[in-house]
Amino acid sequence: MIQIQQVNKIYDDGFHALKNINLEFRKGEMTVLIGPSGCGKSTTMRLINRLVTPSSGSITIDGRDILAIDPVELRRSIGYVIQSVGLFPHMTIGKNVAIVPSLKRWDAAKMSRRVDELLDMVGLKPDLYRDRYPSELSGGQQQRVGVVRALAADPDIILMDEPFSALDPLSREQLQEDVARLQQELHKTIVFVTHDMDEALKIADRIVLMKDGEVVQSDTPDRILRRPANDFVRSFIGQKRLDQEQEAIALGQERETGQDLGTIYESPSVDEVMITQPAVTYPSRGLAEAISTMERRKVDSLYVVDRQRKLLGSVSIYNVMDSYGDEDKTVADVMLPVRYSVESGTPLTQAVELLAGHRLHNVAVVDTNGRFIGLITRGSVVRHLAERLPMLDDGPSVNGADEGEATLPQAGTETNEHAAALENGESANGKNRAAAKIDAAAVAERVFPGSGAETESNDVGPGSRKASKDSRRLTSVGSDPNRGEDRS
C-alpha cells in the first residue's frame, strides 16, 4: 500500500504545485489521477518514484518511508510507462523489454522466458517481434512493448503517465482493454494519470480528481458518478470525448429480393464476420459504471466477462435500472445468463439461423475454452453480405430497381470472368458499375424478415423489455466502436 500524507510541493519560484495531499493507493488496485492540465496529477504520481521530492509531508510504501530507500533501488522496483514510450531505438524489442531484469542480474534463460511470456500476453508473437527494432513497429505496438517492459521485473507497483494520449482512437481503445485485462490477471498496484474521464471510468478501481494542486474527490468510479462532490466534478464528468463511431447504419426498410442468399456464395466462418471489440464489463463493476460504459459505447447492453475473458452473462440497461437504487449491488448481482452462443469456426449460416430463428439481435462467439472473442450482430451479417454478394445485369432486381441500379444475381450465374470484371469496377458486359452496391436494407429484410419493424428493440438478455423512447439513442449490445452500429 502507498500512502501520501500531508504532502506539499513548492518550487523555488514560489509556485505551490501540491497543497496538503493525502492519498492512499490500495494494494492490487488501479487508481487513476485525473484533472485539467496543471492540476498536479503527474507531479503527485512522480512523488512515488522520487522523480519529484516533496517540500513537506511523507510518502510510504508498505510502511517504509521512500526517502530512506536508495532512489536507484526504488525506481528499479517500480514499473514506469510514459507517453513517449521511451524505447531505445538501437535495441531490439526483446532487449528493450529485458532492460530492468538485466540490471537486476537475472540469468539469460529466465530473461528470455519472461520476455516471450510478456510479449505473448499483449498479442505480440515472440518469434515475430522479439528481434525487431522499435522503428519496425506501429505506435500502438510500441506502446504495448512499453507496458510489458514496465512489467518485466514483476514489480508490485506500476506508474503510467498518460501512456495512450498520443495514440489514434482505435489503438487507444484496444490498449485500454489490454491494461484492464492485465490488471484483472496480475493485480498490480497501478497509478495511472490521464486527462480523459472516459478512460478513467473505463479502467479505474478508484479515481482521484484534482484541481489546482488539491484533491477534489477520491472515490470509486461508481460513487463519483452517483455523488459528484461539487460543480467542478459534475462538469468534468460531463466532458465526454468525441465518439469514434460513425452514424448508426439504418436498416429495416421492407423490401423483397426474391433470391435465396444461401445459394449465392459459400458461407464463411463466424470469425470472418464477427465484431472483435464488443462492449464488455466485469462482474465486480458498479451499476453506475455499467451505465457509463453503455453511454460511452452507445449500447443498451453489455456482455460480462471475467479476468480470463470467459463469458459469464449479459446485462441490459433495464436490469441495471431495476436495481440502481441499491448502491451495494454490482453487475454480478443483476446479470443474466447468455442463452445462445457459437464457437469459433462455426459456419456463419448457423449463427444466422440462431439470429433469425430466435429473433436475436446478436450472438456471442466463444473459443473452445469459453472465452468471449467476438459478436455476430445483424448489422455485421448484413454488411458482410452486402459486400460479398456479386452484382449482375440480369436476374431479379432489388425492389424493382431500374436499369443501372444494383441487382441480385440468379443463383449459379457468377463466373470467374464476372468476378474479375467486378474487381475492375465493371459489370460482366463491361459497363462501369463501381458505384453499384447491394442495398443493405434489402439484404437485411431477406435474411431477417420483418426486421424493419424491430429496429428499435436492442435487448439481449432473457426477460428484457422493449426499448423505451428515451433509450432509443442506444444501439445493440457490443456495437462495433469503429462503425457506430447496430440498430439491426
CATH 3.40.50.300 intervals, the chain? 2-237
| CA angle in degrees (0–180, nearest 5) for 370-374-380 | 145
Which pLDDT tens digit goes with each residue over 282-297? Answer: 999 999 989 888 988 8
> What CA–CA distances, in Å, run from 128 to 58, 92, 95, 328, 488?
46, 12, 14, 46, 39
Judge contact between 352 and 260, C-beta under 8 A: no
Task: Kindly state the average pLDDT of the residues 404-411.
Answer: 34
pLDDT of residue 39 exceeding 90, the answer is yes
CA 346 from chain center: how many Å? 24
Q: Reduce the DSSP state of residue 362 to 3 states and report it.
A: strand
Give the predicted TM-score (pTM) of the model.
0.56
pLDDT at residue number 225: 85
pLDDT at residue number 55: 95
pLDDT of residue 242 exceeding 50, the answer is no
Task: Kindly state the average pLDDT of the residues 168-184.
Answer: 80
Confidence of residue 450 (pLDDT cuts 50, 70, 90): low
Q: Reduce the DSSP state of residue 314 to 3 states and report it.
A: strand
**CATH class held by domain 261-383+444-471:** alpha beta
pLDDT at residue number 205: 92
> What CA–CA distances, in Å, run from 252 to 216, 455, 487?
48, 7, 9
pLDDT at residue number 85: 66
How far apart (Å, rounded) are the C-alpha atoms in residues 276 and 299?
15
Q: Is 85 left (phi over 0), alpha (psi -120 to 50) or beta?
A: left
Which pLDDT tens digit goes with each residue over 355-367? Answer: 887 888 889 999 9
Highest mean pLDDT among 89-98, 143-152, 353-362: 89-98
CATH of domain 2-237: 3.40.50.300
pLDDT of residue 463 exceeding 80, the answer is no
- Tell me whether residue 173 is exposed, middle or buried, using C-beta atoms within 10 angstroms of its C-beta: 0 to 12, 13 to 18, 19 or more: buried
Q: Which three cell numbers stand for residue 239?
A: 466532458
CATH 3.10.580.10 intervals, the chain? 261-383+444-471
Q: Which three cell numbers stand for residue 348?
A: 456463419
Q: What are phi and psi of 275, to 5 degrees?
A: -80, 125
